[in-house]
Amino acid sequence: MFEPFWKEVGNSATVVIPGWQKMSYFSDPKNFCWFLEPEFANEALRLHRIVGNAVTDDRHIIVGVGSTQLIHAALFALSSTEARQPVNVISAAPYYSMYSSIADFMKSGMFRWAGDAAAFNGDDNFIELVCSPNNPDGEIREAVCGNEAGKRVHDMAYYWPQYTPMRRPADHDIMLFTVSKATGHAGTRIGWALVKDAEVARKMGKFIEMNTIGVSKDSQVRAAKILKVIADGYELPDVEAGSKFFHFGRCLLANRWKRLRQAIEASGRFSLPQFPSEFCKFLEEHAETYPGFAWLRCEDQSIVDLEVFFKTINILTRSGRQFGVGPEYVRISMLDRDANFDVFIKRISSLE
């Protein structure tokens, strides 16, 4: 969806790395996250400061191969290698569909998937994954389990101004972000964590060291450049209006959500979540919420499985079953290219 913006900025977002540069494993040998490129760390902190979406003071930055590796690293860091039983990993339904796979894929004796946090009746040996704004439904989330003995990881991938109002800087022990959702550069495979506790950060870094021997310097340099272009669009004087990335994204998503809501209302067979307008400190005005995914509920009792139903008109969705709820729900991406989104709207409008 963001391709047109990056085409427009052209060479200002281009990176050239000579063949003799970035050849060592090490970026900063004095940092326990020795593979973190200082240039990337500086630009990530700069953008957080501009947007105001996270507390960065007294935090350690850990870079990873997207959020997926960072979730693995956080689960490792918060678990014990000496515990008799694996720690339970939970998240409130509907939860991000990859959480269960991430927790169980390695068949680790350190942690295991235990399902919906709202239904969890276990002891204080748990890690709660809190996704806010939530994927798939776009809701702002807080931890569900009130037991203070448990541990929490906050997945903040969508807490950026194109998707939701910036209410206040998030302030949690472990906060995860990713370039793929912030800027659209999913193929760069770069994410970062802001971690309060030094020992937890050290363990996360160690996991990444043992898993991939660090993180690509080339990807970090490119990600740093991308973040710099966005930050420059808001900090440098006399910048053209078209250089404001978050405004571009909000405008595009606002139009898409308007078209989708019109089509859904006309059909009379489905419903979408409603979001209140809230004050955005970044925009300095009241703003709407435009999630990166549409969480669609079927209101037509004759349709048993909504994913299967949409397949009959060539609309690909992800079933609610994968998010811990029923088949009356599906998740639909709002982030595809314009041409594909236009086809989607045309097909769903044919159901009137």
Domain boundaries, position 320: 244-349
- Which residue type is seen at 254? A
CATH number at residue 37: 3.40.640.10
Q: Residue 257: is its pLDDT beyond 90?
A: yes
What is the DSSP track for 144-162? S---TTSEEEEE-TT-STT
Question: What's the pLDDT at 208?
Answer: 97
Domain end (from 205, 235, 265):
235
Residues 204 and 315 grouped into a single domain: no
Strand-pair category, 318-319 with 87-91: unpaired
Determine the longest span between alpha carbons in the chain, in angstroms. Answer: 64
Residues 183 and 279 grouped into a single domain: no
Cβ–Cβ < 8 Å for 289, 138: yes
With CA atoms as reference, report the closest residue to 156 among 207, 186, 192: 192
Cβ neighbours of residue 257 closer than 8 Å, sequence gap 6 or more: 288, 290, 294, 334
pLDDT in tens, 148-170: 789 999 999 999 999 999 999 99
pLDDT in tens, 327-341: 999 999 999 999 999
pLDDT in tens, 184-228: 999 999 999 999 999 999 999 999 999 999 999 999 999 999 999
User: 5 lies in a domain?
Assistant: no
- From the number of C-beta atoms within 10 Å of its C-beta (0-12, 13-18, 19+), residue 271 rates as middle
CATH number at residue 287: 3.90.1150.10
Q: Residue 98: is its pLDDT beyond 90?
A: yes
User: 194 lies in a domain?
Assistant: yes
Summarize the confidence of residues 314-332 as an average pLDDT. Answer: 97
DSSP annotation of 314: T
Question: What's the pLDDT at 168?
Answer: 97
Q: Residue 241: is its pLDDT beyond 80?
A: no
Q: CB 224: neighbour CB atoms within 10 A?
A: 22
User: 1 lies in a domain?
Assistant: no
pLDDT bin (cut points 50, 70, 90) of residue 83 is: confident
Question: What's the pLDDT at 97?
Answer: 95
Distance CA 141, CA 164 (A): 13
Rounded to the nearest integer, the mean pLDDT of the chain is 95
Q: Residue 122: is its pLDDT beyond 90?
A: no
Domain end (from 181, 210, 235):
235
